[in-house]
Amino acid sequence: MGVKVSVARIVSLVPGATESLYALGLGDRVAAVTHECDWPAAARALPRVTRSTLELDGLEGGDIDLRVAGAAERGDPLYVVDTAAIRRLEPDLVVAQDVCAVCAVAADEVVSELQGLRLLRQHPHTLEDVLQGIDELAKASDLEASSLTTRLRARIEAAVSAVGGRRVRGVFLEWLDPPYAAGHWTPDLLRAAGLEDPLARPGLPSVPITWEAVAAAEPEVLVLAPCGFDQARAEAEAGRLRDAIAATGCRREIVLDGSAYFNRPGPRLADSLEVLASELWADQA
Question: What would the pLDDT profile of 142-180 be if each residue is shown by its tens digit?
Answer: 987 689 999 999 999 999 999 999 999 999 999 999 999
Q: What is the pLDDT of residue 1?
A: 45
pLDDT band at 4 (very low <50, low <70, confident <90, very high): very low
Percent of the chain with pLDDT over 70: 86
Question: What would the pLDDT profile of 188-199 be if each residue is shown by its tens digit?
Answer: 999 999 999 999
Residue range 223-233: average pLDDT? 93
Residue range 234-250: average pLDDT? 96
How far is residue 159 CA from its own chain's centroid? 20
Residue range 59-64: average pLDDT? 70
Q: Is 208 exposed, middle or buried (0-12, 13-18, 19+ CB in 10 A)?
A: middle
Residue (of 198, 191, 187, 141) closest to 166 by Cα position: 191
Asked, as a colleague might, if the bond just before 178 is cis with ω within 30 of 0, I would say yes
39: three-class secondary structure by DSSP? coil
Q: What is the pLDDT of residue 51?
A: 83
Q: Please tell me the number of Cα atoms within 13 Å of 171 on its side-chain side.
A: 25
Range among 78-82, 121-125, 154-158 rated most confident: 154-158
Range name among 1-15, 26-40, 157-171, 174-188 with the lowest pLDDT average: 1-15
Q: What is the pLDDT of residue 76?
A: 57
pLDDT of 15 above 80: yes
